[in-house]
């Protein structure tokens, strides 16, 4: 009997795979040597940012063909520094997607501004420019499109919207290192873009980067990351303690030099998944816009509940039981999570939503973003890591087919 017709492991059957996967980031001898050299130098932190941090900034900017790169401690810090550089604050609205890591929206609240959630495109999973247009008000100051999973957002539309309404566009590239949109690297399109290095395609353990061609913004963001201090003990603007480290930068330099190679392997893995799963009943593989080069930080498939009779969570649990790590991605969109739905501000007060400078009443409730509310329950992950062998990929595809075959057969009875 074909393995596709065996009893599911989640129901007591034999797992499709028993050997565990190695899914940790590709960190090896080169990175270890780079860290050792930093530690040996005794210069693990350089307040002048003249060592490895400066070198990493220069190489990162060069890779993206932009003038300036400002390193910070995390991707979340990068987003907040970018908002602060644009003077986003009390009474302002920033439009963000509800289908992303919480930091894209929480950084807005940390600036005492209001996150406004716009729905996503049902094919790309990126924020929908048309819904963004509908959400713009006289309070809107910025838009943060996220290149989700490594798929570039429709940046032409966002650039036009920014110009039409005089809004700041901040690219959130946390999941899209090396991705391209119409031949340009993401992060080089908007005036400001932000990256994260926490277990991403460039992985340094922690760290973040901001890119810009704007000289004034570059200068301001460097002040913001260091307490607003142009010199020691003389503060000029309200800033943060968002320091990068020499160790982070040393690892980042090695990782950046490998990025094109590792991204090419990610695309090979994605192509294999796409070809192997395209005709599997009840499974939808990722759509990639024709003008994009996907970075595949995360590979996802959509589970068609009407065909298989199970939710994304149920399918992911069945896959995990078969020995294939899987999970639902952003199952509950941000606007329906307690922090935002209940408008949990500072000190258990209603700020920033109740701020006198805002003067509006908004609600984050079901129906606000219907596309993401549906899709969030359907999209699940498959393992994605450069270095996975064909045997590993065969096991993953085989387990997906086994589960889909079993569930679709039950629906047809």
- Identify the CATH number of the domain in which residue 176 sits: 3.40.640.10
**Model confidence over 201-242: pLDDT tens digits?**
999 999 999 999 999 999 999 999 998 887 667 888 899 999
Least confident range from 27-36, 48-57, 301-310, 317-326: namely 48-57
pLDDT band at 1 (very low <50, low <70, confident <90, very high): very low
Please tell me the predicted confidence (pLDDT) of residue 47.
Answer: 66
Per residue in 87-122, pLDDT (tens digit) is 999 999 999 999 999 999 999 999 999 999 999 999
At 253, list the tokens.
């330099």
Asked whether residue 65 carries a pLDDT value surpassing 80, the answer given is yes
pLDDT reported for residue 167: 98
Residue 254: predicted pLDDT:
98
Q: What pLDDT is recorded for position 169?
A: 98
Which pair of structure tokens corresponds to residue 304? 């068609």
Residue 41 is assigned to a structural domain of this protein: yes
Q: Note whether 296 and 149 are within 8 A (CB).
A: yes
Residue 102 falls within a domain, yes or no?
yes
pTM of the prediction? 0.95
Lowest mean pLDDT among 119-128, 206-215, 354-363: 354-363
Q: What is the predicted pLDDT for the residue at 130? A: 98
> pLDDT, tens digit, for every residue of 243-262?
899 999 999 999 999 999 99
Whether 341 is in a domain gets the answer: no
DSSP category for residue 241: B
What is the CA angle 206-207-213, rounded to 5? Answer: 160
In a domain, 410, yes or no: no
| 413 has a pLDDT exceeding 90 | no
Average pLDDT, the chain: 94
* Residue range of the domain that includes 158: 29-255
List strand residue ranges (DSSP E) for 48-179, in order: 68-72, 93-96, 114-117, 140-143, 168-172
Report how far residue 69's alpha carbon sits from residue 221's, in angstroms, rounded to the nearest whole number: 10
pLDDT digits (tens, 9 = 90+) for 288-335: 999 999 999 999 999 999 999 999 999 999 999 999 999 999 999 999
Distance of CA 357 to the CA centre of its chain: 31
Q: Is residue 77 part of a domain?
A: yes
Contacts of 206 (CB under 8 A, 6+ apart): 73, 74, 197, 198, 248
- What's the CA dihedral at 341, 343, 344, 350 to 10 degrees? -160
User: Does any domain span residue 286?
Assistant: no
Strands 292-293 and 283-284: unpaired
pLDDT for the residue numbered 4: 59
pLDDT tens track for 144-166: 999 999 999 999 999 999 999 99
Residue 289 lies in a domain: no
Domain count, the chain: 1
Instruction: Tell me: pLDDT of 174 over 90.
Output: yes
Number of H helices, E strands in the chain: 13, 13
Burial pattern 25-51, b for ≥16 Cβ within 10 A else e, equals bbbeeebeebbeebeeeeeeebeebeb
Which residues does 199 contact at the CB level (< 8 Å), separation at least 6?
25, 205
Give me the torsion for CA of 119, 122, 128, 134, rounded to 10°.
Answer: -50
Tell me, yes or no, whether 204 lies in a domain: yes
Euclidean distance between CA atoms 377 and 332, whole angstroms: 8
**Percentage, residues of the chain above pLDDT 90:** 86
Q: Is the pLDDT of residue 347 over 80?
A: no
């Amino acid at each position: 009997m074909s393995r596709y017709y065996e009893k599911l492991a989640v129901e007591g059957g034999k797992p499709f795979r028993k050997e565990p996967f190695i899914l940790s980031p590709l960190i090896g001898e080169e990175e270890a040597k780079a860290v050792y050299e930093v530690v040996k130098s005794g210069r693990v932190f350089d307040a002048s940012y003249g060592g490895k941090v400066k070198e990493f900034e220069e190489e990162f900017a060069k890779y993206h063909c932009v003038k300036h790169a400002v390193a910070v401690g995390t991707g979340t810090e990068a987003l907040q520094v970018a908002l602060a550089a644009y003077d986003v604050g009390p009474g302002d609205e920033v439009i963000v997607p509800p289908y992303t890591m919480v930091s894209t929206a929480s950084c807005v609240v940390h600036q005492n501004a209001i996150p406004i959630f716009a729905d996503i495109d049902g094919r790309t999973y990126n924020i929908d420019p048309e819904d963004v247009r509908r959400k713009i008000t006289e309070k809107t100051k910025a838009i943060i499109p996220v290149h989700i999973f490594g798929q570039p957002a429709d940046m032409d539309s966002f650039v036009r919207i920014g110009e039409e309404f005089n809004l700041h566009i901040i690219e959130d590239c946390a999941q899209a290192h090396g991705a391209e949109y119409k031949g340009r690297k993401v992060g080089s399109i908007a005036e400001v873009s932000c990256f994260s290095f926490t277990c991403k395609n460039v992985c340094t353990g922690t760290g973040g980067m901001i890119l810009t061609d704007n000289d004034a913004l570059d200068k301001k963001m460097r002040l913001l990351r260091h307490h607003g201090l142009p010199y020691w003990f003389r503060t000029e603007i309200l800033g943060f303690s968002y320091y990068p480290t020499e160790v982070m930068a040393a690892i980042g330099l090695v990782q950046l030099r490998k990025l094109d190679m590792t991204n090419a392997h990610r695309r090979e893995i994605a192509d294999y998944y796409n070809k192997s799963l395209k005709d599997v009943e009840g499974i939808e593989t990722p759509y990639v816009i024709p003008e994009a080069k996907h970075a595949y930080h995360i590979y996802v498939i959509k589970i068609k509940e009407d065909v298989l009779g199970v939710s994304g969570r149920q399918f992911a649990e069945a896959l995990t039981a078969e020995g294939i790590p899987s999970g639902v991605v952003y199952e509950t969109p941000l606007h329906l999570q307690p922090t935002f739905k209940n408008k949990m501000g500072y000190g258990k007060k209603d700020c920033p939503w109740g701020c006198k400078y805002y003067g509006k009443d908004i609600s984050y409730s079901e129906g606000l973003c219907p596309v993401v509310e549906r899709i969030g329950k359907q999209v699940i992950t498959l393992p994605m890591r450069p270095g996975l062998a064909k045997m590993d990929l065969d096991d993953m595809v085989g387990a997906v087919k086994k589960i889909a075959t079993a569930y679709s057969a039950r629906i047809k009875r």
